[in-house]
Amino acid sequence: MDENQKIMLAKIGTSEGQHLKNSLAKHGFEIALVHNHESCKTGCSPQVEVWVHPEDAQDILQTLTQAQRDEWADNGYDAKLAENVFDPEAESATCPACGTQFSTKQSACPDCGLCF
């Protein structure tokens, strides 16, 4: 990967970076993991910078988003629930974690306990 033609996408743990690199390679994306000694001084947990070709950045983010949604679905979570926003002005709300409908007079979901 040409040093002059990439952008930093993220800074993550070393093992997560290697997992990400392997996962994205299966989708045909090349990323570089770089340990920047300047940004990681004594005492920090090992991290790497994730560098990508600019033209791949949007597709990589979409691939990762879809992979996350697939993982949620595999675990029985409906990703559409995440779109629910708690509006204290409304009479009721739908919990974005479990889907329970409840009165906005409550500050937490009565089913799963998610606080708002």
* Alpha-carbon torsion, ordered 64, 69, 70, 74, to 10 deg: 140
pLDDT of res. 60 = 95
How many Cα atoms occupy the beta-carbon half-sphere of 25 within 13 Å? Answer: 9
Alpha-carbon span 102 to 108, nearest angstrom = 9
Does the domain at residues 3-74 carry the CATH identifier 3.30.70?
yes
pLDDT tens-digit profile of 8-62?
988 898 899 999 999 999 999 999 998 877 766 666 677 888 999 999 999 999 9
pTM as predicted: 0.62
pLDDT score for 110: 96
Mean pLDDT of 80-98: 92
Q: Is the pLDDT of residue 1 over 60?
A: no
As a whole number of angstroms, the distance between CA 78 and CA 61 comes to 20
Of all residues in the chain, the percent with pLDDT exceeding 70 is 91
Residue ranges of domains in the chain: 3-74, 78-116
